Structure 1
């Protein structure tokens, strides 16, 4: 198994109620806040970012989460809030656009799911379809359809959930990077801090406690932490570690979920006055036994994947590292292998692949036999690769955009083929490209070069407006990236990708 990098119980929203029993589980406690005397207690379970159903050594997954939920529901009143970021980037999502995840989440019975930029990875229409399949509401107050000026079809701006400790309001904001990183021309993203107004509206509707979920928008944290109408602010983050901080009855959390985790909040209240925060825990899911029923459900999907993907296609004679930092901050052997395969397939002058296309977050030892499953896991998006012609000036501008995202490990970082780039990252953004050569010649700003690149980049995605090319559009031809890679490996049998100096830093 590969290793990855770093009263009534149940639901109260009116969708359905569940009663279950389970042995007690151990959790890592933050340190409880002194509870107020109350007539009822409520547990709020929160998690996010669980797109891949495949088991990974040392990590917890949906079956472990099911055990936690069953335990908490057996103990008493429980809400399950899902932070989203789970419908794309998984191996199976490439085939069904996340439908399997909705099927599995329906079994876990969340009271709501926040919508993140990642959940729109397959576009607006696919997310709307998933919302119709779900037996729980999708929530986002800031994802606006430009055609109607209202929240996108299939989404709700907020949720108001009845519980024995009072009404719990939930609001969420999607990351503004959605419109930069994804091709969603019909979507407008309002500033995340505007959900403060939605939180106040929930208070006016009778909410006793308000939870705000923030999709990877740290710039809005300070303003929202200071908003009196928000009691708990939970931010999703792609880097760092899980954090919970309680102060004066308010809660702030950062959920990274690198190893599979959940937050458990405990509230005490009488259903009239605002409930008191009695404690907050970070639960490492890997420490819980898997729920047999959910493990069986997941196993059905894994068996389907095995039929499709457990086919050997090649061997890597060298070690490979596809962890997030490795593919978003510098030259990477696996990314170079992909770029070279793209250029070879289209016979272009150069090729670009952005690090955000690579999602496996794994390490492979030298001598590893690679399967279709490995390639599908690493390259889960259904974007096609096309060949376009672009001036050298545009290529240099693109490399400047690439360099600007290194500090934040943005997925826009470009890996080239048949090109050598020297950066000076100490220089200000826009002045970090020192030199560029194509083959053995300096990049000529006036010469037009043939370039193989993802259709997504050719539409200006990830901030690459200078790469926008006529004719580039969803479904406008080309070949799926993972198919190019699978054929490249099959044709060669054994590959030996290495760091060869195509990206260096002064």
Structure 2
């Protein structure tokens, strides 16, 4: 496997230079003379799940937008990342299918986000070698080398009809809290301002910065003179695209519903002028037949694997983001109960961020393996470990601290009842805790079923870290043998046939 340079700031090396030259030549060939000084920049992100969702656009709709813009003239396609995990198919191939599909769409680069490291550093490096476009992240540093992680570039410098366009991106500092990547250091996102200035020094007439869900860095980067467009990925809210004084600020929400289109005019020498900035709903575009066919091949494979009935829910279920990360949830409780039952432990925890379906199910819905894989896309195994009552209470404080920001660290318990007072400061929100109807004893040791991710201290749960748990896919630990979460859940449903999960008061607020 050939090595690719990760220290050449803003430059392609080897085949990248060839690809960039071919792209520019192709743009020049299709662009009429009148459009030689015009450029469209298309930006989107977050399409990990290729299954169609009503009211949302997908890759086939995006292909239509790109084909239209490329026919009109010079076009750059900047991808914001967050697409290699956590979709249903990525459970099987770690995002390889997405690289295959994106290669067809021909991005000029892809920003790396924390979600793209969901399967670990080595898998991301493998995906980067499969891609025909560079992966960009300036602040994802390998502790072993002190340089940007292998397979990534700190920035990209792209030739276009209006001059050289620089692109730099920063990953969220939450990476090292939410994912198990001990070899990775995340430098403060605001430090990419220096990379933007370096791109200017290399001849960039326009610089785009892509920020992975790091709102704390927005103010500093918006004021950076070297950055012309700052595009931030956000986990919630709505799309925003503002332009003023020639600058652009955008917030792209983590759903596969839209693309941003910026239009620039220039002579290839002086800084180009911004002539337009639009949010384009992808669902309003007809699907491209060729891409629809390509996606359909993968969907057919999924159907063969996943269209197997495993049970029925007699009660409605809600797995949307807010429902999973702010309070008690019937589906999350069902999962926690299945975990505890499988290991026969005193209690169990599942974190809301492990559940990703973002769906609503009506009472009477027949559930398939597809539903369970969509809801639980990470290949995380469940283990049983001993934990003290003191550690459990500390974990519940971490859980309550993230409610206001809808963090995935919110814990759903089994055989536990906890009362929170969310009006209190973070760290002092747990009012009372019972296990099996008895007050939590800080000095007692309890057997707990939980994902290996939490047992490694993921999501900030250092107090849950257990010796002997070395990887998210570990099959054993010092506690009991592990089993994949979706397998436990599927077996639980199969054994019962029909389930009726409800809110039962295991999490309440004062």
TM-score (normalised: structure 1): 0.93
* SS of corresponding position for 1:25: helix
* 1:129-169 deviation digits (Å, cap 9, x = unpaired): 00000000000000000000000000000000000100000
Aligned counterparts, 1:207-286, within 5 A:
207-258=204-255, 260-286=257-283
How far is the alpha carbon of 1:277 from its aligned partner? 0.6
Q: Is there any run of 5+ residues in structure 2 with no aligned partner, and where?
A: 469-475
* 1:176-200 deviation digits (Å, cap 9, x = unpaired): 0000000000000000000000000
Contact 2:39 2:265 in 1 (8 A): yes
Residues 291, 13 of structure 1: CA spacing in aligned structure 2 closer, same or farther, 3 A cutoff? farther
Contact 2:231 2:250 in 1 (8 A): yes
- Looking at structure 2, the residues matched to 5 and 141 of structure 1 have their Cα atoms a distance apart, in angstroms, of 13
Contact 2:335 2:489 in 1 (8 A): yes
Identify which of 295, 298, 304 aligns with 1:298.
295
How far is the alpha carbon of 1:5 from its aligned partner? 41
Aligned counterparts, 1:445-456, within 5 A:
445-456=442-453
Task: Choose 23-32 or 36-45, whichever is displaced more.
Answer: 23-32
How far is the alpha carbon of 1:53 from its aligned partner? 0.2
Contact 2:6 2:150 in 1 (8 A): no
TM-score (normalised: structure 2): 0.92
* SS of corresponding position for 1:255: strand
Contact 1:11 1:111 in 2 (8 A): no
Contact 1:34 1:278 in 2 (8 A): no
* 1:32-78 deviation digits (Å, cap 9, x = unpaired): 99999996100000000110000011110000000000000011110
How far is the alpha carbon of 1:96 from its aligned partner? 0.1
* SS of corresponding position for 1:402: helix
How far is the alpha carbon of 1:4 from its aligned partner? 39
Contact 1:172 1:212 in 2 (8 A): yes
Contact 1:9 1:76 in 2 (8 A): no
Q: How many residues in Structure 1 have an aligned counterpart in Structure 2? A: 502
Contact 2:306 2:370 in 1 (8 A): yes
How far is the alpha carbon of 1:258 from its aligned partner? 2.9
How far is the alpha carbon of 1:245 from its aligned partner? 0.6
Contact 1:328 1:356 in 2 (8 A): yes
Contact 1:142 1:174 in 2 (8 A): yes
Q: Is there any run of 5+ residues in structure 1 with no aligned partner, and where?
A: none
Residues 392, 474 of structure 1: CA spacing in aligned structure 2 closer, same or farther, 3 A cutoff? closer
Contact 1:139 1:158 in 2 (8 A): yes
How far is the alpha carbon of 1:247 from its aligned partner? 1.3
* SS of corresponding position for 1:24: helix
* SS of corresponding position for 1:385: strand
Residues 462, 9 of structure 1: CA spacing in aligned structure 2 closer, same or farther, 3 A cutoff? closer
Residues 475, 80 of structure 1: CA spacing in aligned structure 2 closer, same or farther, 3 A cutoff? farther
Contact 1:318 1:365 in 2 (8 A): yes
| Structure 1 runs (4+) greater than 2 angstroms displaced | 1-18, 23-39, 472-477
